[in-house]
Structure 1
Amino acid sequence: MTDTATFEQDVNFLRQHLDNVVLLQSAADSSMVLVTGDYQARVMTSSARGMNGKSYGWINYPLIASGEYQPHINAYGGEERCWLGPEGGQYGLFFPPGKPFEFEHWQTPGLIDTAAFTMVSQSDTEVVYTKEGALQNYAGTVFKVGIERKVQLLDKAEAARQMGVQLPDGLSVVAYRTENKLTNTGTEAWQERSGLPSIWLLGMFTPSDKTVIVVPFRQQDNAREFIHDDYFGKIPPERLQVRDGLVLMKADGRARGKIGLEPAIAKPMAGSVDTESGAITLILFSISPAGRYVNSRWEQQAAPYKGDVVNCYNDGPLADGSQMGPFYELESSSDARPLLPGDSMTYRQTTVHLEGSRTALDALAQELWQLSIADIAAVFNKQ
């Protein structure tokens, strides 16, 4: 695991250690996406420039090579994994009933941590996996679920359409969309009073001292009330700035911090930019303004369905000096719904990486965020 690994190096490593590795590739350009069923149909990494291109996903080489399971979570990495929320609270899926909301009791459910998914179809640009299982939440409710996950490589034109922009010339692009379907396979309806699961997509990327997370939001007088930055303690201003409809956060892997935006102000996009190379990463997702969004905080909650639709995380050392990464994460969540037996809900997210001409990337940054890449870099250079 190195900051400079090529896509080919990551492909070869994963093929050496995993049984089910699928390479999606375009006949029209050099975009490639690597998926594995061994880790819950996770997108491990991607490249805009073929085998010799930059590999975008953070991959935990030591853990994968060890072949061993870790307590609490197996952080294999990968630039988009499918989890189910909420994490904590009275309806949390990561704590057993009655236990304190403390790290020693926190456990990622096996269905979304160690289970292998079954591939049901594959083409050059698309692969589909399924898995069934059960989870119990903190309230003792058992959810029998079916998960279907489709990963589809997109062409440049479709990426631009979903971004809502005309891409400048001089850019190499890799884009993929995942379609995540959650089905109630049990005999009981899911009810708000006993907990509702949501679909939660998380991507792990390689940090750098020059990388900045950028999350746009709808400006209004009380917007700051819907932006949360105290998940692991308040993030100081030298690492986080909120200004002019943007949340800007360092993604250097040097200090733990997490932010979240509620659907009241969130826009259907979050991203990051490497202010040195100019490379831009985006996640695009949908928002249900009136939807129930689960609250994942590790506490008994007054408002368990007033959570975030988008989160971003910067990794850093724990109190004992150890560190899981370093990496940073871009995350989005579906709303939670009271599904009847046999009913399903589907949540889609598109990930886009763009690299190439600095002039073209700067023009794109201006269109997306109304700031140049140099302006974004200067936000923290002045701190």
Structure 2
Amino acid sequence: MASSDSKGYSSYDDEVSFLKEFVELTELTDPSGKSKIAVSAALQGRVMTSTALGENGRSYGWINRELFSSGDTSEHFNAYGGEERFWLGPEGGQFSVFFKNGDDFNLDNWYTPRLIDLEKFEIKEQGASSVVFTKEATLTNYSGFQFELEIERKVEVLSPAQVFMQLGIESISGINTVAYQTTNTLKNMGSKDWEKETGLLSIWLLGMFNPSPSTTIVIPFHPGSEADLGIPVNDNYFGKVPHERLILKDSVLYFSADGTLRSKIGLSPARAKNILGSYDATNRILTILQYNQPQGVQDYVNSMWEIQASPFTGDVINSYNDGPAEPGKKPMGPFYELETSSPALALKSGQEGSHIQLTCHFEGDEEDLDRILKQILGVSIDEISKAFN
């Protein structure tokens, strides 16, 4: 059983020691030794967890200890956890890579490709603060098109000074910070071009984090009329999200990350900005994700579980709150997810496309965290705390 502090977080050292019983880890650190992350080649170069305060600091990633300890694997999906995993979309539709041709779109027929679930990536380069993984593979979609591809994934820890510079905000000396950037590249290794008519892939990054009753997901969005920009948020993935769990203001939304109700939201390219985050008010932990969102690009793969009239009108940003799939059942976690996707990649033979994401965790005084929140997400801690009240 994991030891944890009084507010539910295990230490980084405790989580890493546990993980090393089951998988090899690559640990990366900044020059100070305080900012640390643990990455697993066995799980596709996944960032399993991180800390801003060295070995004894809180571990930010959600780890599925029960699954690791069981030694079991599922044909459908192995939710090992980890705060940034590499996936490929689309999940549903006629170009899905999770369903076989002719199968109905239901949970019994949903299979995560082994490539992004159980297969190991190779380490190409490694240093104290960065590591590069590679993988060559083939993948066939629902419509029968076979992708021949190469994946390259670079993971690097940034120093606090680099973090503040990259976010474009003033440096705050008294705050504890860990941040890492991943550069994820997909290359068409086959002789055939990847075209809309036969389906396209996207790079999809998903992070699993520890929920709490006081954790709120905060996503700024572009304001405007539905006639011009479409709906502000798609909340129909698992049935409409109850109003008390999803609050929309003029240009920002708040989504509960308490890990008690299975629910998911998504934002379109017309609405999404290149930034999102979450705030745990009890533990004073701010998590920020920033990603490269190409301007003017509208084609994103659609992951809805149906044959789609519009397969390239998908979401750029998603967030998932875990909970029981059925009344009386155990949740998968619980955890919550922050997710971003690349555009649909129409790559000619030999071409490549990339998706870059920065993940940051900040711990410190409310006053300092409030300054960061206002600069990056445009809201205050007070506004977040009142969102659901």
Q: Same fold (TM over 0.5)?
A: yes
**2:64 equivalent to 1:64:** no
Structure 1 unaligned regions, length at least 5:
none
Which residue number corresponds to residue 360 of structure 1? 368
Identity %: 44
Give yes or no for the alignment of 1:341 onto 2:312. no
Q: Answer yes or no: is the 8 Å Cα contact 2:35–2:54 preserved in 1.
A: yes
1:13 maps to 2:18: yes
Indicate if the aligned counterparts of 1:168 and 1:363 stay in contact, CA closer than 8 A: no
The 2-side partners of 1:75 and 1:158 are apart by: 32
Measure how far apart 1:278 and its partner are.
2.2
Output the CA distance in 1 between the equivalents of 2:264 and 2:230.
15
Indicate the larger mover: 267-276 or 158-167: 158-167
Within-5 A mapping of 1:82-93: 82-93=86-97
1:240-288, Cα deviation, whole Å (9 max, x unpaired): 0010311100000000111110111211011100112221001100212
Structure 1 residue 29, shift from structure 2 partner? 4.8
Match for residue 295 of structure 1?
A: 302
The correspondence of residues 223-262 of structure 1 with structure 2, limited to 5 A, is: 223=229, 225-262=231-268
Q: Which amino acid aligns with 2:48?
A: M
Are 1:40 and 2:44 an aligned pair?
A: yes
CA distance in 1 between partners of 2:180 and 2:376 (Å) = 19
Give the letter aligned to residue 269 of structure 1.
Answer: I
1:99 maps to which residue? 103
Q: 1:377 to 1:224 in 2, by over 3 A?
A: farther
- Tell me which residue corresponds to 1:310: 317
| Map 1:156-167 → 2, pairs under 5 A | 156-167=160-171
1:189-244, CA deviations, whole angstroms, 9 ceiling, x for partnerless residues? 11110100010000000000000000011111225614201110000111000103
2:9·2:60 contact (CA, 8 Å) conserved in 1?
Answer: no
In structure 2, distance between residues paired with 1:96 and 1:313:
25
SS at match of 1:194: coil
Name structure 2 gaps, 5 residues minimum: none
Provide the secondary structure at the position in 2 that maps to 1:332.
Answer: strand
The alignment of Structure 1 onto Structure 2 pairs a total of residues equal to 380
Corresponding residue for 1:137? Answer: 141
Match for 1:4: what amino acid?
Answer: Y
Indicate the RMSD between aligned Cα atoms, in angstroms: 1.3
Q: Describe how 1:49-198 pairs up with structure 2 within 5 A.
A: 49-198=53-202
The answer to whether residue 12 in structure 2 is matched with residue 4 in structure 1 is no
- Cα deviation, residue 66, structure 1: 2.1
TM-score (norm 2): 0.95
Shift of 1:92: 0.7
Aligned mates of 1:123, 1:291 — CA distance in 2: 37
CA contact (8 A) 1:278 1:373 kept: no
Which residue of the partner structure matches residue 332 of structure 1?
Answer: 340
For 2:124 and 2:69, the matched residues in 1 are separated by: 27
TM-superposed deviation, 1:366: 2.2
Partner Cα distance (2:259, 2:230) in 1: 25
TM-score where L is the length of structure 1:
0.96
Alignment partner of 2:384 out of 376, 380, 383: 376
